[in-house]
Amino acid sequence: MKLSLSCIRIVLLPAIVILLNISCAKRAEYLTLEGFTQGTTYHIVYSPDISGSPANEVENLLHRIDSLMSVYNPSSLISAINRNEDVVPDTLFIEVFNRSREIFELSGGAFDITGAPLFDVWGFGLKRRDSVTPQMIDSILNFVGMDKVELFGEKLIKKDQRITLNMNAIAQGFTSDFIAREFDNLGVKNYLVEVGGEIFCKGVNSKGKLWRVGIDKPIEGNIIPGEELQEVLEISGKGLATSGNYRKFYEENGVKYSHTIDPRTGYPVRHSLLSATVVAKDAMTADAIATFFMVAGLEESTKFLNSNPAIDAYLVFSKGEGFGVYKTAGIKVR
């Protein structure tokens, strides 16, 4: 499935690559699961603490999330909500919706799961791009904003029936967290779950060390994950996500337009921030905050980090002819 990945990263390739030593994994008897989901891939590495394979459990979890959050699935819950049908959101959907609302407020509206119509009009969504005018943007902004949709008991109430939801910028992170919960329930002690580049990991890798994750260098033409690395981070017991705006854009009349749209203004962003890697208590939070940072830019992101010490980040920005890096104290590099 492919979740309406028009929320900021519709066609962005994962900006991170898991660094695995296959021969060591075999010696330590770590096991792997991998496949396709949400229009991307997933990879799971785990220690053999349980009998049998959790492959069926993983597939069931992925199917459940697809049935809830995929706008490419006309039978999904979110598709029904977008058609204004009388449906009741389940607990997982409510969890993601509520966290989206919290980060919408934390980010001052920079993270917004109602922003898909703006991505469509700029050509990064499900529809073809047309000539964009200020009048078009102003009209769309009338039905964009999580402040225009509320949960009342078991009902989702829209202030405008044209409002649609798109959870791409948080769903893959949530999927990693959801699978990680299942591994905890099964009794797996060490694992790394990666879905579309969004990660949650626990314990240690096959060498008995922290899990290592590489951040791709944010340069044009670097389209193969892991080919040119900016840095290698070490993490455990947390979620990690990376977002960037250097791989996908279009050029018109000599102007490059980023695939990152600011839902507050309705226009593509123009700032120096090239990629944002975020480490948080869970992958869902990291996923959404990384998207927020790519909308907000370097100055607003660093201000947020200074006020929120529970969030760590590794930010790469353009500086003259090269790159600059901002990283918080909690970021561990190899």
**Count of the separate structural domains present in the chain:** 1
Task: Classify residue 263: in a domain, yes or no.
Answer: no
**Domain holding 46: CATH number?**
3.10.520.10
User: What's the pTM value of the predicted model, to 2 decimals?
Assistant: 0.87
Task: Classify residue 109: in a domain, yes or no.
Answer: yes
Task: Classify residue 320: in a domain, yes or no.
Answer: no
Average pLDDT of the chain to the nearest whole number:
85
Task: Summarize pLDDT for 85-126 with one digit per residue, the tens.
Answer: 999 999 999 999 999 999 999 999 999 999 989 988 887 665
**What values do phi and psi take at 162, rounded to 5?**
-80, -10
Q: Which of 239, 96, 240, 237 is nearest to 156 (CA)?
A: 96
Q: For residue 192, list its beta bridge partners.
A: 45, 201
Task: Summarize pLDDT for 219-268 with one digit per residue, the tens.
Answer: 655 455 556 788 899 999 999 999 986 555 445 554 444 578 999 999 98
Is residue 220 within 8 A of residue 306, CB to CB? The reply is no
| d(C-alpha 40, C-alpha 78), whole Å | 19
Q: Which of 243, 276, 285 is nearest to 106 (CA)?
A: 285
The range of the structural domain enclosing residue 34 comes to 16-235
Task: Classify residue 11: in a domain, yes or no.
Answer: no
Whether residue 6 has pLDDT greater than 80? no
In whole angstroms, how far apart are CA 89 and each of 77, 153, 178, 327? 7, 10, 17, 38
Is residue 113 within 8 A of residue 147, CB to CB? The reply is no
Task: Classify residue 272: in a domain, yes or no.
Answer: no
| d(C-alpha 8, C-alpha 329), whole Å | 27
Tokens 């779950």, residue?
193
Is residue 3 within 8 A of residue 171, CB to CB? The reply is yes
3-state secondary structure of 248: coil
